[in-house]
Chains A and B, each alone.
Chain A
């Protein structure tokens, strides 16, 4: 099993890339890159060179340092909001699958409402209501992840509920909660982890989009989305300000997608083995 995991090159590469980004983020926030992150008007808008590998921005901050510092907010917000969505959504989905009846119906309706909303616009409204900042960004993104995980867990659990081992558990008098968490949860965990990675890649894009329109991460904390927004009018003068932060963003998303694909493959292969 370990061997097969290692053999999957893309899986390892993408995991390494994400790890590298996190490390870079921690290094940046620990103060090691402060000279690159501080405003220095004497070195503004410098093209990429050996001194500044990816150039500098309009206020003389090093682009590479900013990308490093921006990775932790981006990945952190995405991770937090998706986990929040999963922690709320999965029990919801499992419990409704176990109990069935009118509660399930009500929760399905509530999910419909959230799904029907144009997600980005609702996030815009939420952040406008609660004031921009990290906390509200997390909430605004998490809101859309709750129904995703609830549906996923519910759909899988509903199939499992018809299987014999659940019937056995019910016959032996186990409570709804026990069935949900002891029997259903381990069986939906695999797909859920895959979905976590997929949702996280969507959440990174959402966070950068909110920051791009000025509602996400607030200055002086760096953010990939805001770097792109600041760069927009400078496209003709300083193209490196547009290309590099966007490339960082895209590679993080790509890494997460590949991670999800790899895990999905690994997981389905694993389960087939069990079936055999």
Chain B
């Protein structure tokens, strides 16, 4: 019986969710791909953000060459190329009939323009340094590009296939938000914080892509990634961020788990310039003290190949040096003693956000503790990491993965953050570009690896695995990841019946309703003001303005002192100081502080809330997008809270002090004590994991109709229950108070039934203070749901601010926080005015 009633509840909820849901168009040839990070923008020529290349490389954009699945250089826009015998003159012959997505034909001038742009002295291209050997670029005709080099560069065809040197349409209006390339997919739209949609390019020069549409869904954490896969919202996860769940997924017949390798050398980076790490014995002691096997087991659940130097194991020139410093704490301690540090010392280990870093860091700290090194862990954001560690070299130790292919040049750079200087290494590295003979090159590369291991520059931990998880029917995804990118060209569904996850379609929105609401609010205020008195109203409005002004100063100052800066976040690891300076100037960040503040406030006065630094779209648009999740969630939670609180309080108040009253009071007491996010986790455990009734997280977008509501039930319940307990207690107290009043006795004397007395006489009077509390709760639910949004991976307002704080997008933080403050202040004012309207005693002295 109980099961049936539970089933009934479930069906009821599903029915509510499905009500009005449009027929789901399940055409094959669509695929939804999960990505862990949202790109700052989509222009790969000015960022080294992995997320940008993940989306556009090989899909929207192509280069002269391309890197194949196993790291080989293949022809792409250049059909073939020749190199002179002295290795200093390359000729690339372009393919005929290639057109950009805007219809313009590809010519050699477009190629020359891209390369010239990238190698200019003021270029912000991350690969700027690798183009240094180029002397001149000629375009003798539309199909030929000649490149003259000042010295041989055997790597050139490979370099030209990398993601930052793709050929972009020269007439694209804004490649940062709307990329126009030559690839098999064209860009359709980008919904910030949620998804990027590509459609098949039917004019593609090569064999057309099998898929009609690719949607890259941003799944910012491991939990939502797993939830998305299990719920069927995501078809493929080329880089699954939660290795701990792979065993569970491997046993699931729906999924294929494919473990490959990346170019990501994960290392415990050491600041070689800072004592005591300037002593090679100390660095070697670290290498002996770290147990790679335990780290791969503990942090990566066994996935990952141990490495002993800075080189990918799948490269033909790889040399296994993992035995150079075997795990041996005794040897490590002896080395420390030799260096005069027998008593040990204290260091700080700064860890960026990825799971591999945070988990490895915790294990490393305990392993170093065993040889007497006291490690203080500091978890920091990427923006901070880039600023403190990468830019200012302010660190002792850090854990990070270097994902650029063939990036052994970094050890030859004098200004790199490791602080490593070895003339012999630099010399050997510079000789590499003269070596065209494969065997000679291989031996030279092995010398480099040996040199790094001898100097024990860093402690190399493991090669980051590429943990691919996708539906079994999906074929053609890459196992290996020789370059950053999720190339979708060859991807297809094996059987037509497998339709794939539904990708959300476009949703058009306008700010119209916002202005309408504002106008209504203003009209309401005016009519209120006429009834209450203008002086009181003016008084309150002045204090509202003063509160807002003070808040704006607080927000501005708080945001200004955030360490790290948005420019280095946007440009990534390879940005030059000049490029950073230019970007800062472009964003107006080089102005004096007071001017920045005044310009911001002046913009606000014109109802211009600024443009996001990283997304490059108006903040208001971002807020509107996020509000389409946050507002329904808050309202649903409030509705549920009221729906739970009202009967509970009434049942208790009907017979004060009796069993029902005591039980509901005790339940409310317990409900109050449960933190809403833990409740959220428990709901996930029970309703998603065990019963499988509700999705564990994520939000598919309102285009899927009220099915989207299905994703909001659990978070709304988690938010509602503690609020319901607050409401129930307040309502119960108020009811108790009202029930002692004379008019209740009158009603009873007239013979009204107990329910009628409660419902008709007591409740309306008790509701007024309760409604005030509900007004305040609404603003809390709108802004304060950040942790629930994290638990359920919902793209709401809270997460927008959280994410903006991580990216140091000051404009977004400032404006959104101030908008929220304005909302709260306005709600408070509204409540106050309502009270003034209702209760004449509260009316101000100023009226008389």
Residues on B with C-beta less than 8 A from A41 are 294, 297-298
Neighbouring B residues of A250 by C-beta, 8 Å: 670, 673-675, 678
Interface residues of B toward A: which range?
35 or more
- For B675, what are the chain A residues with a Cβ–Cβ distance below 8 Å? 205, 208-209, 246, 249-250, 253
**In the assembled complex, A132 has its CB within 8 A of some CB on chain B:** yes
Which residues of the other chain, A, contact B786 by a CB distance below 8 angstroms?
Answer: 120-121, 124, 213
In the assembled complex, which residues on chain A have CB atoms less than 8 Å from the CB atom of B806?
128
Question: With A132-B379, A235-B685, A250-B673 in contact, is A116–B362 under 8 Å at CB?
Answer: no
Instruction: Give the docked Cα–Cα distance between A44 and B673 (Å).
Output: 31
The residue from B245, B294, B805 contacting A237, defined by CB atoms under 8 A apart: B245
Q: Which chain B residue has the least Cβ–Cβ distance from A201?
A: B673
Cβ of B574 within 8 Å of any chain A Cβ, yes or no, is no
Question: If A113-B550, A201-B673, A236-B245 touch, does A44 touch B784 (CB 8 Å cutoff)?
Answer: no
Residues of B within 8 A of A103 (CB): none
How far, in angstroms, from A125 to B359 measured CA to CA in the complex?
24
> What mask results when residues 216 to 259 of chain A are scored 1 for a CB within 8 Å of chain B, else 0?
00111000000010011111110100110010011101100110
In the complex, how many angstroms separate the beta carbon of A226 from the nearest chain B beta carbon? 10
> Is A220 in contact with B820, judged by CB distance below 8 angstroms?
no
- For chain A, the count of residues having a C-beta within 8 Å of the partner chain is 55
Are A212 and B677 also in contact (CB < 8 A) when A120-B787, A243-B682 are?
yes
Which of these, B244, B546, B550, B554, contacts A234 with CB under 8 Å? Answer: B244
Q: Which of A115, A117, A201 contacts B817 (CB 8 A)?
A: A117
A110 within 8 A of B: yes
Given A58-B244, A118-B817, A121-B786: A258 touches B791 (CB 8 Å cut-off): no
Minimal Cβ-Cβ distance residue in B for A258: B669
| Whole-angstrom distance between the Cβ of B731 and the nearest chain A Cβ | 17
- Whether B784 pairs with A121 at a CB distance below 8 angstroms is yes
Q: Which residues of A contact B362 (CB under 8 A)?
A: 39, 59, 219-220
**B783 adjacent to chain A (CB < 8 Å):** yes
Among residues 539 to 554 in chain B, which have CB atoms less than 8 Å away from a CB atom of chain A? 543, 546-547, 550-551, 554
For the complex, is A214 an interface residue (Cβ under 8 Å from B)?
yes
Write the nearest CB–CB distance from A25 to chain B, whole angstroms: 19
Are the CB atoms of A116 and B669 closer together than 8 Å?
no
B366 near A113 (CB under 8 angstroms)? Answer: no
Say whether A38 faces chain B, with CB atoms less than 8 Å apart.
yes
The SS class assigned to the A binding surface is helix
Question: For chain B residues 555-573, which have a beta carbon within 8 Å of chain A?
Answer: 558-559, 561-563
Q: In the bound complex, how far is the Cα of B366 from the Cα of A117, in angstroms?
A: 40
Main secondary structure of the interface of B (DSSP, over half): helix
**A118 contact from B245, B380, B563, B820, Cβ within 8 A:** B820
Say yes or no: B377 contacts A119, CB within 8 Å. Answer: no
B224-255 vs A, Cβ < 8 Å mask (1 yes, 0 no):
00100000000000000010110110000000
Contact B366 A38 (CB under 8 A): yes
| With known contacts A113-B550, A254-B669, A235–B379 Cβ distance under 8 A | no
B784 touches A242 (CB 8 A): no
B550 touches A109 (CB 8 A): yes
Nearest CB on B from A216, distance (A): 10
Complex contact B248–A116 (CB within 8 A): no
User: Quick one: closest B residue to A114, CB to CB?
Assistant: B554
A117 CB, nearest partner CB in chain B, Å: 6
Is B110 part of the binding interface, using a Cβ–Cβ cutoff of 8 Å? Answer: no
Hey, which bits of chain B sit against chain A, CB under 8 A? 222-223, 226, 242, 244-245, 247-248, 294, 297-298, 353, 359, 361-363, 365-366, 377-381, 543, 546-547, 550-551, 554, 558-559, 561-563, 669-670, 672-675, 677-678, 681-682, 684-685, 689, 779-780, 783-784, 786-787, 790-791, 798, 801-802, 805-806, 813, 817, 820-821, 824-825, 828
Given contacts A124-B802, A125-B558, A213-B802, 14 further A-B contacts (CB under 8 A): A118-B779, A118-B824, A121-B786, A122-B558, A125-B559, A129-B563, A132-B380, A214-B379, A219-B377, A242-B685, A249-B675, A253-B673, A254-B672, A257-B673
**Chain A residues close to B by CB (< 8 Å):** 38-39, 41, 44, 58-59, 109-110, 112-113, 115-122, 124-126, 128-129, 131-132, 201, 205, 208-209, 212-214, 218-220, 228, 231-237, 239, 242-243, 246, 249-251, 253-254, 257-258, 261
